[in-house]
C-alpha cells in the first residue's frame, strides 16, 4: 500500500529534517510503502544539503514553487500533484515543524484497515500552546460551531484515501481552507486522538492574527449558513437590546459586521481557475532520494 506524506515548508528546513528522520525510524508494517513529498513555498533560505540515509523511506521529492502562496495552497497544490502524477493509496498531509507528531503516523496506518476507504482525521485532544492561546482556540471552535453548525477539531494532519483526494481537488474551497473543505466534501470522518506537539526549532508561527484568519477561512467555506445565522443573530440581538441600546451594547454587532466583511473577502480566495493551474507554479522538482 503506497502512502505519500505531504509536507509544506517555508524556510523551516531544520525542523523538516528532524521530521523526516523521525518518519524514517518509525517501525511501520512492511505492507506500507512510505514516500515523502515536500512542497517548498518559495523559501528565501536555502535547504542544507545533508548526506543522510533514509532506508525506510521509499522516495523523497522536493517540489519548489515559483512564488509564495501560503500553507493551505501548498497543501492543495501537493494534493493535486500527487493525484495527477503519483501512484498512491493514501496521502497524509502534515506540518513539517514537529507540531504534527510523526509517531502518530503509525496510528493513522493502524486505522486504515478498518476505515472502509474513509478519511481519517487527527482529532486534537491536547494542545501545547500557552493558556491564552488555548482559550482563544476554544473560542474559535465555539464560534465556528455556532455560525456554521460544524464542529471542526482537526487541522492538516489527516490520512486521505484516493477517493477523498479526488473530491478535494475538485472543490474550490480546498484552495482556501483544507479542514473546511474536507468537512464540506466528507460527512463521515473517522478519527484518531492527536496531541499537538512542540515545534522542534523556533517559535510557533500560529500567531493570534493567523488564528483569526484560520478561523474566518474555515467559516468562509460555509458562508451561506454563516450569513443566515448572522442575520438571525442580528435580529434577535437588536430586539434584546432595543430598550438599552448604547455604544457598548452595539459592539457585538460591529464585530459581527467586520467578520462578515472579512469572510466575504476570504471567500474570494476560492478560485477554481487558479487551483486548476496550480501545477504551473512549480519551478522544479528535486529528487532527494
CATH code: domain of residue 272: 3.90.550.10
Distance from the first to the final alpha carbon of the chain: 19
Q: Is residue 34 part of a domain?
A: yes
Q: Is residue 152 part of a domain?
A: yes
Digit-coded pLDDT (tens) for 160-204: 999 999 999 999 999 999 999 999 999 889 999 998 888 898 776
Q: Is residue 179 part of a domain?
A: yes
Share of the chain above pLDDT 70, in %: 96
Q: Is residue 289 part of a domain?
A: no
244 is written with which cell numbers? 438599552
173 is written with which cell numbers? 474551497
Q: Is residue 94 part of a domain?
A: yes
Residue 168 has a CB neighbour count (10 Å cut-off) of 25
**Under-70 pLDDT residues of the chain:** 126-130, 133, 204-208
Name the pairing type of β-strands 90-93 and 2-9: parallel
CB of 188 closer than 8 Å to CB of 152: no
Residue 170 sits in which domain range? 2-283
> What's the domain count of the chain?
1
Instruction: Look at residue 208 in the predicted model and tell me its pLDDT.
Output: 67
Q: How far is CA 243 from CA 233, 246, 278, in A?
A: 17, 9, 54
Q: Is residue 150 part of a domain?
A: yes
Q: Is residue 231 part of a domain?
A: yes
Q: Is residue 288 part of a domain?
A: no
Amino acid at each position: 500500500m503506497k502512502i505519500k506524506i505531504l509536507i509544506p515548508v517555508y524556510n523551516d528546513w531544520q525542523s523538516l529534517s528532524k521530521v523526516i528522520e523521525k518518519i524514517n525510524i518509525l517501525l511501520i508494517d512492511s505492507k506500507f510503502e512510505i514516500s515523502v513529498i515536500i512542497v517548498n513555498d518559495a523559501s528565501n533560505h536555502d535547504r542544507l544539503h545533508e548526506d543522510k540515509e533514509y532506508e525506510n523511506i521509499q522516495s523523497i521529492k522536493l517540489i519548489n514553487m515559483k512564488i509564495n502562496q501560503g500553507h493551505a495552497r501548498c497543501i492543495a497544490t501537493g494534493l493535486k500533484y500527487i493525484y495527477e502524477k503519483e501512484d498512491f493509496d493514501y496521502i497524509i498531509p502534515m506540518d513539517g515543524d514537529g507540531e504534527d507528531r510523526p509517531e502518530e503516523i503509525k496510528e493513522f496506518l493502524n486505522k486504515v484497515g478498518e476505515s472502509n476507504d474513509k478519511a481519517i482525521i487527527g482529532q486534537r485532544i491536547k494542545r501545547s500552546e500557552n493558556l491564552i492561546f488555548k482559550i482563544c482556540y476554544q473560542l474559535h471552535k465555539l464560534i465556528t460551531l455556532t455560525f456554521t453548525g460544524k464542529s471542526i477539531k482537526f487541522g492538516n494532519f489527516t490520512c486521505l484515501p484516493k477517493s477523498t483526494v479526488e473530491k478535494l481537488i475538485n472543490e474550490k474551497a480546498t484552495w482556501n481552507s483544507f479542514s473546511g473543505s474536507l468537512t464540506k466534501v466528507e460527512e463521515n470522518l473517522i478519527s484518531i486522538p492527536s496531541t499537538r506537539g512542540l515545534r522542534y526549532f523556533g517559535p510557533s508561527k500560529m500567531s493570534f492574527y493567523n488564528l483569526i484568519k484560520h478561523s474566518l477561512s474555515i467559516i468562509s467555506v460555509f458562508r451561506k449558513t454563516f450569513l443566515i445565522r448572522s442575520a438571525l443573530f442580528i435580529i434577535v440581538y437588536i430586539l434584546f437590546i432595543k430598550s438599552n441600546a448604547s455604544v457598548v451594547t452595539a459592539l457585538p454587532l460591529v464585530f459581527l459586521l467586520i467578520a462578515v466583511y472579512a469572510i466575504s473577502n476570504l471567500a474570494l480566495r476560492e478560485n477554481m481557475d487558479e487551483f486548476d493551474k496550480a501545477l504551473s507554479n512549480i519551478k522544479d522538482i528535486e529528487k532527494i532520494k
